[in-house]
């Protein structure tokens, strides 16, 4: 391609979409595509969509309305705009999108991203394409791997997809249909990508998967490695000081992974372990394949291995048939676990999922009221958790400039945002701090033992920054 073209990717949904969008950008780069700061300045706009709840998928159609206007404005100026829809809505409603929105030039599902250059050639020739097959080859073999320049914080922290898809078929969830069956990437590819990231200065990696702790990638020895073993290998990579992973299913929390939390200081003491409901009756109807007690006992075992483990979760209120009593059980489990944070959602009936066809759907007013009560309980738990850190000494990875001049901001081991006065040359360092104040969503801290001026500048494997 002779001239430079500009692409703008708008990302909705989960971190895996964020990772995928970065990989799409990287895959287009050798073909002469650079990133545009906005849709207005782009020759190609890709909406990387999410289908998880009705609201999320509706956003696509309103954004496509905007794209229609933009495309005709550009056409009046003699400019061209290509519009693509990727992600989980594309996978679930590919043909419907093409039918409803003539503005769209290409629709392609999450397993087709490595075909993007080919799709562009086809649309460049005037064709409209819909590609929602699940190809046999592994897209990660053909997509550009993560590099530091393209990672989420463009520097110190990065996402790394290790597993994709889900075979759990919770009765409310579209993911098994949009992302397909559970597959794990081979261990050597993951380690190579992680090494490249660490060499470029990334200090914290978050391993991604819809069911990340169900990871069973082929190891160099030909056997299937679990996530615990993968974390042990990642912990040996120099410079990779912090490892996180998300999202986990309670059924897949193996003894080895729990032991890895005991053994590896790099494995951060923060676990996103959604339970969805505190009621056994609802958990069974959701096909979660674990009960309330299984979940609580699992947390006991995790905390026995890593006493400072903080938990986070996801909850759904108003699942079909949920009574006030069921909901009370959810409120109780929030109290019992003492979550550091949690997401909560109103049940949204998704086409094609078993629960959507249930007769006893819950009225919207009841869902709204339960969500408000649950969120109040979660907020109280988060406040209590944050307050429990007051006066505590902890390590913070300084990731970016803070709100005020002279401040830097970073994350605690428990993923809390932390602000402190610190010289900018400490960016990228993990420093000990003492927490001095607790606000609603962040901690204020003071640097302990400021490193002396005579120390060498921040360096990553000997490369001065
Ligand atoms: N793979 C992860 C998360 C999947 S989606 C897991 O198994 O936990 C993220 C969250 O969205 C889910 O945990 C669930 O709480 C919520 N969610 C999924 N489907 C939903 C639906 N139909 N309505 C409301 N919330 C939903
Ligand atoms: Fe969806 Fe359940 Fe799979 Fe999570 S485990 S992605 S909620 S089907
Ligand atoms: Fe949404 Fe697909 Fe992620 S439905 S939450 S973008 S896996």
- Please state the domain extents for the chain: 5-131, 139-387, 393-464
pLDDT at 428 over 70: yes
Fold of 139-387: pyruvate-formate lyase- activating enzyme (3.80.30)
Fold of 393-464: OB fold (Dihydrolipoamide Acetyltransferase, E2P) (2.40.50)
pLDDT digits 0-9 by tens, 236-256? 999 999 999 999 999 999 999
Instruction: Give the residue-averaged pLDDT of 403-409.
Output: 93
Q: Which segment of 25-39, 87-101, 121-135, 235-249 scores lowest on mean pLDDT?
A: 121-135
In 141-300, at which residue ranges do the beta strands (DSSP E only) sit? 157-161, 163-164, 183-184, 204-208, 217-218, 224-225, 242-246, 270-272
- Residues with Cβ within 6 A of ligand 1? 52-53, 172-173, 175, 210-211, 247, 249, 274, 276, 314, 316, 345, 347-348, 350
Q: What percent of the chain has pLDDT over 70?
A: 94
How many C-beta neighbours within 10 Å does residue 409 have? 18
Instruction: Compute, in angstroms, the gap from residue 169 CA to the centroid of ligand 1.
Output: 11
- State if residue 92 touches ligand 3 by the CB under 6 angstroms criterion: no
* Substitution candidate for ligand 2 out of 52, 166, 169 with most atoms within 8 A of CB: 166
Q: How far is 246 from 154, CA to CA, in rounded Å?
A: 20
Instruction: Compute, in angstroms, the gap from residue 440 CA to the centroid of ligand 2.
Output: 30
- State if residue 173 touches ligand 2 by the CB under 6 angstroms criterion: yes
- State if residue 249 touches ligand 2 by the CB under 6 angstroms criterion: yes
pLDDT at 464 over 50: no
* In contact, 256 and 301? CB cutoff 8 Å: no
- State if residue 175 touches ligand 2 by the CB under 6 angstroms criterion: yes
DSSP assignment of 199-212, as one string? HTT--EEEEE-TTG
Bridge partner residues of 314 (DSSP)? 343
Q: Let me know the angle formed at the C-alpha of 352 by 367 and 286, rounded to the nearest 5 degrees.
A: 50
Give the DSSP H or E segment for 19.
helix 15-28
* Substitution candidate for ligand 2 out of 56, 249, 289, 315 with most atoms within 8 A of CB: 249
- State if residue 344 touches ligand 3 by the CB under 6 angstroms criterion: no
Confidence of residue 151 (pLDDT cuts 50, 70, 90): very low
Q: How far is 414 from 237, CA to CA, in rounded Å?
A: 22
Instruction: Give the residue-averaged pLDDT of 184-199.
Output: 96
Instruction: Give the residue-averaged pLDDT of 89-112.
Output: 94
* Substitution candidate for ligand 1 out of 178, 290, 330, 345 with most atoms within 8 A of CB: 345
pLDDT of residue 44: 97
- State if residue 52 touches ligand 2 by the CB under 6 angstroms criterion: no
Distances (CA, A) of 120 to 127, 139, 197: 9, 17, 29
* Substitution candidate for ligand 2 out of 163, 169, 252 with most atoms within 8 A of CB: 169
Write down the architecture of domain 5-131 according to CATH.
Answer: 3-Layer(aba) Sandwich (3.40)
* In contact, 82 and 106? CB cutoff 8 Å: yes
Residues 6+ apart with CB under 8 A from 206: 15, 157, 158, 159, 160, 244, 245, 246
Smallest-distance ligand from the CA of 353: 1
pLDDT at 441 over 50: yes
Instruction: Compute, in angstroms, the gap from residue 174 CA to the centroid of ligand 3.
Output: 8
Q: What is the mean pLDDT of the chain?
A: 92
Q: State whether residue 107 is helix, strand or coil.
A: strand
- State if residue 166 touches ligand 3 by the CB under 6 angstroms criterion: no
Confidence of residue 142 (pLDDT cuts 50, 70, 90): confident
The bridge status of strand 310-317 relative to strand 341-346 is parallel
Shortest-distance atom of ligand 2 to CA 176: 8
> Does the pTM of the predicted model rise above 0.75?
yes
Instruction: Give the residue-averaged pLDDT of 49-63.
Output: 94
- State if residue 169 touches ligand 2 by the CB under 6 angstroms criterion: yes
* Substitution candidate for ligand 1 out of 166, 316, 346 with most atoms within 8 A of CB: 316
Shortest-distance atom of ligand 1 to CA 249: 7
pLDDT of residue 461: 37
Shortest-distance atom of ligand 1 to CA 344: 15
- State if residue 381 touches ligand 3 by the CB under 6 angstroms criterion: no
Instruction: Compute, in angstroms, the gap from residue 288 CA to the centroid of ligand 2.
Output: 8
């Amino acid at each position: 391609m002779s001239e430079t073209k500009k692409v703008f990717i708008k990302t909705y949904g989960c971190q895996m979409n964020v990772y995928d969008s970065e990989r799409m950008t990287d895959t287009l780069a050798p073909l002469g595509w650079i990133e545009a700061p906005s849709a207005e300045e782009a020759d190609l706009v890709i909406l990387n969509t999410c289908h998880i709840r009705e609201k999320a998928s509706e956003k696509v159609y309103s954004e496509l309305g905007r794209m229609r206007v933009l495309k005709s404005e550009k056409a009046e100026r003699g400019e061209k705009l290509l519009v693509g829809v990727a992600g989980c809505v594309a996978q679930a409603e590919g043909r419907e999108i093409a039918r409803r929105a003539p503005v769209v030039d290409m629709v392609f599902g999450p397993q087709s991203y490595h075909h993007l250059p080919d799709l562009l050639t086809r649309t460049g020739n005037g064709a409209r394409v819909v590609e929602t097959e699940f190809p046999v080859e592994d897209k990660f073999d053909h997509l550009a791997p993560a590099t530091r320049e393209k990672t989420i914080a463009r520097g110190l922290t990065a996402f790394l997809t290790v597993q994709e898809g889900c075979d759990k078929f919770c009765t409310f969830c579209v993911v098994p249909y949009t992302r397909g069956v559970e597959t794990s990437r081979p261990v050597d590819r993951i380690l190579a990508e992680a090494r490249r990231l660490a060499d470029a200065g990334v200090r914290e990696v978050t391993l991604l998967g819809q069911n990340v702790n169900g990871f069973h990638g082929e190891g160099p020895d030909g056997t299937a490695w679990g996530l615990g073993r993968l974390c042990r290998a990642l912990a040996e990579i120099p410079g990779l000081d912090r490892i996180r992973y998300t999202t986990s299913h309670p059924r897949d929390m193996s003894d080895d992974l729990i032991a890895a939390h005991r053994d590896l200081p790099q494995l951060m003491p923060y676990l996103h372990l959604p339970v969805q409901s505190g009621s056994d009756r609802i958990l069974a109807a959701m096909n979660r394949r674990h009960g309330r007690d299984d979940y609580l006992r699992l947390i006991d075992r995790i905390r026995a291995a890593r006493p400072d483990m903080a938990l986070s979760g996801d909850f759904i209120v108003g699942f079909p048939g949920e009574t006030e009593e069921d909901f009370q059980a959810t409120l109780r489990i929030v109290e019992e676990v003492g979550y550091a944070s949690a997401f909560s959602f109103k049940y949204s009936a998704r086409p094609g999922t078993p629960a959507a066809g249930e007769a006893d759907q819950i009225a919207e007013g009841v869902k709204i009221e339960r969500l408000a009560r649950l969120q109040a309980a979660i907020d109280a738990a988060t406040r209590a958790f944050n307050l429990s850190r007051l006066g505590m000494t902890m390590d913070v990875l300084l990731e970016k400039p803070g709100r005020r001049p002279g401040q830097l901001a970073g994350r605690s081991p428990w993923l809390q945002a932390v602000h402190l006065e610190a010289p900018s040359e400490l960016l990228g360092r993990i420093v000990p701090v003492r927490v001095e104040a607790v606000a609603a969503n962040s901690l204020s801290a003071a640097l302990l033992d400021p490193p002396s001026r005579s120390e060498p500048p921040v360096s990553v494997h000997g490369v001065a920054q």
